[in-house]
Every structure is written in structure tokens, then in C-alpha cells.
């Protein structure tokens, strides 16, 4: 594999773990396997930029943050990778600023527009919305339960115990994402015109009515779409933390394919 030219990569985390702990294992492998050819920068989500999400928060807030970070790095074009809420933000960015991207990598994006989803997918999202009135602990437990196949328990967060300070912000941040997902207009036609390579990593134990259907729908949207299934992984036990070697090899191949 030829990795002599540096790949400029911006990585967005999900709505729970901050970017540092989320991507630490993957970044270490990328540094080793690329021989320094990957210039990777992690960026935390804008929804957590203050003590609470702003009243007018939307995915456009995340888009503006991505632009600021890329400009601060001096990157005219770059590869964008996003997981969960960061994946939804990456999709929104690709729709509005396709010329800034060399490729797109999606690690189970939490949302992909409102395009005539199946009854099972719509029913699942009603369950997500029903979480809104719950207290923080119950909200997070319900949020985790809905993200995996029924009966899956391995690799799920363990409730109780001392929580890091940033965890207190997560229920409000996830609620802000759910709110913008309900109203944001993701331009499907713009994504159909996105001609750069798109990689999608899917956990085989994730909820198929959510992430599985998102993968299926996006496979019919992007002209250059590649799906990779990680059979033993799920949304809260993702490959960038648990199988970073395999994911790093796939990403290096993906970035090379952008030419």
C-alpha cells in the first residue's frame, strides 16, 4: 500500500465519549501502520462547547465547527470521519460542503435524514423520542438499550460507579441531537452527487432497525459506497475502540482509494 502522501483526516466522536478517549487506540495504530502518512486531528462536538447546548443548536452548528477546525489546520480539502452523532454531522457536512472533502467515513451515523424509512425504523425512533421525559440515568440506560440487538449485553456500559465530569452533559447533548434530527433537512440529492468514496463500518450486534437500515439506505445514495460489517461489535462496543487494527487497515485503503 502506498501511503507516501499525507492524508489529512478530521475525526468526530459520538455523543457520549469525548474525542480523545474515543479515538486514542485507533490513532495509535494509524500512526504505526501509516509510517507518519496520516495527519489525524480529533475534534469534539460543538454541542458540548458550553455548559449546555444552545437553544438554536442544530447540525449546522456542527458544520460550522468543522469548517473552523479545517481552516485552523490550513486544510483546503481533507478526509472526514464521524461516529454516531459525529457521523450524522459528517453527513450534513458532505451535503453542504462536498468540495472540501476527499472522502467520507461513517461509523454507524446516528441519523441519515427523513427518506421514507421502514415502519420498524419509524417505530424505533418513536421509542427514542419517548425517552425525553426520563431522568438522566434512566434516559442513558434506555438510549443504550435501543442501540443494540435485543438480548445483547456484552460490551454495554456498566451503570453505577463514579462518572467523569463530562458525563453530566451527555443527556442534554443527546436530547439536542434528537431534536435537530426531527427537523433538519438533509439534502439527499446533494449526497447522491457526492462522487468521493464513502466507507461505512457497521456492527453486527447493533440494532438492525436503526444502523442496519441506515447502511442499507445510504448504499443506494452514494455512488462509491463500501460497507464493512464487524460481526462481534455494536454501537457501544465499536471497532475504533475494540478492533482498531482492522479498522485502521480499512481506513488506510479507503483514503488511498480517494486518489
Per-residue pLDDT of the chain (259 residues; tens, 9 = 90+): 344 458 999 999 999 999 999 999 999 999 999 998 999 999 999 999 999 999 999 999 999 999 999 999 999 999 999 999 999 999 999 999 999 999 999 999 999 998 889 999 999 999 999 998 899 999 999 999 999 999 999 999 877 678 899 999 999 999 999 999 999 999 999 999 999 999 999 999 999 999 999 999 999 999 999 999 999 999 999 999 999 999 999 999 999 999 8
Q: Are 157 and 144 in contact (CB under 8 A)?
A: yes
> Which residues, 6+ apart, have CB-to-CB distance to 33 below 8 Å?
245, 248, 249, 252
Q: Are 217 and 109 in contact (CB under 8 A)?
A: no
Closest by CA position to 30, among listed 254, 257, 259: 254
Q: Where are the domains of the chain?
A: 7-257
The pLDDT of residue 214:
98
Radius of gyration of the chain (CA): 17
pTM strictly above 0.85? yes
Q: How many CB atoms lie within 10 A of CB 198?
A: 25
The pLDDT of residue 6:
85
Q: What pLDDT, in 10s, does the model give residues 198-215?
A: 999 999 999 999 999 999
> Which residues, 6+ apart, have CB-to-CB distance to 191 below 8 Å?
91, 94, 95, 218, 221, 222
Q: Are 199 and 104 in contact (CB under 8 A)?
A: yes
Q: What pLDDT, in 10s, does the model give residues 155-182?
A: 998 776 788 999 999 999 999 999 999 9
The pLDDT of residue 163:
86
The pLDDT of residue 2:
40
Closest by CA position to 85, among listed 27, 120, 44, 54: 44
Task: Quote the DSSP letter at residue 74.
Answer: T
Closest by CA position to 60, among listed 167, 170, 183: 183
The pLDDT of residue 5:
53
| CA–CA gap between residue 21 and residue 259 (Å, rounded) | 30
Q: Provide the strand spans (E) within 13-57.
A: 38-42
Q: How far is CA 170 from the centre of its chain?
A: 15
Euclidean distance between the first and final Cα of the chain, in Å? 12
The pLDDT of residue 209:
97
Q: Are 225 and 200 in contact (CB under 8 A)?
A: yes
Q: Which CATH superfamily is domain 7-257 in?
A: Alpha/Beta hydrolase fold, catalytic domain (3.40.50.1820)
Amino acid at each position: 500500500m502506498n501511503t507516501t502522501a499525507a492524508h489529512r483526516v478530521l475525526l468526530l466522536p459520538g455523543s457520549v465519549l469525548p474525542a480523545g478517549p474515543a479515538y486514542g487506540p485507533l490513532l495509535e495504530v494509524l500512526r504505526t501502520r501509516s509510517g507518519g502518512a496520516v495527519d489525524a486531528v480529533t475534534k469534539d462536538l460543538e454541542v458540548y462547547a458550553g455548559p449546555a447546548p444552545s437553544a438554536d443548536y442544530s447540525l449546522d452548528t456542527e458544520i460550522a465547527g468543522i469548517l473552523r477546525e479545517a481552516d485552523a489546520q490550513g486544510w483546503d480539502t481533507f478526509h472526514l470521519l464521524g461516529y454516531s452523532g459525529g457521523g450524522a454531522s459528517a453527513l450534513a457536512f458532505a451535503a453542504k460542503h462536498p468540495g472540501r472533502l476527499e472522502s467520507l467515513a461513517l461509523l454507524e451515523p446516528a441519523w441519515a435524514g427523513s427518506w421514507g424509512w421502514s415502519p420498524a425504523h419509524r417505530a424505533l425512533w418513536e421509542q427514542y423520542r419517548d425517552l425525553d421525559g426520563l431522568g438522566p440515568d434512566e434516559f442513558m440506560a434506555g438510549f443504550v438499550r435501543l442501540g443494540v440487538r435485543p438480548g445483547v449485553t456484552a460490551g454495554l456500559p456498566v451503570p453505577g460507579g463514579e462518572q467523569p465530569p463530562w458525563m453530566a452533559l451527555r443527556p442534554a447533548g443527546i436530547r439536542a441531537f434528537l431534536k435537530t434530527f426531527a427537523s433538519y433537512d438533509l439534502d439527499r440529492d446533494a449526497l447522491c452527487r457526492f462522487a468521493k468514496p464513502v466507507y461505512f463500518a457497521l456492527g453486527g450486534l447493533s440494532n438492525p432497525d436503526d444502523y442496519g437500515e441506515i447502511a442499507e439506505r445510504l448504499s443506494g445514495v452514494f455512488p462509491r459506497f463500501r460497507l464493512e460489517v464487524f460481526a462481534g461489535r455494536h454501537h457501544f462496543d465499536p471497532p475504533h475502540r475494540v478492533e482498531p487494527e482492522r479498522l485502521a487497515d480499512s481506513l488506510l485503503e479507503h483514503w488511498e482509494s480517494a486518489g
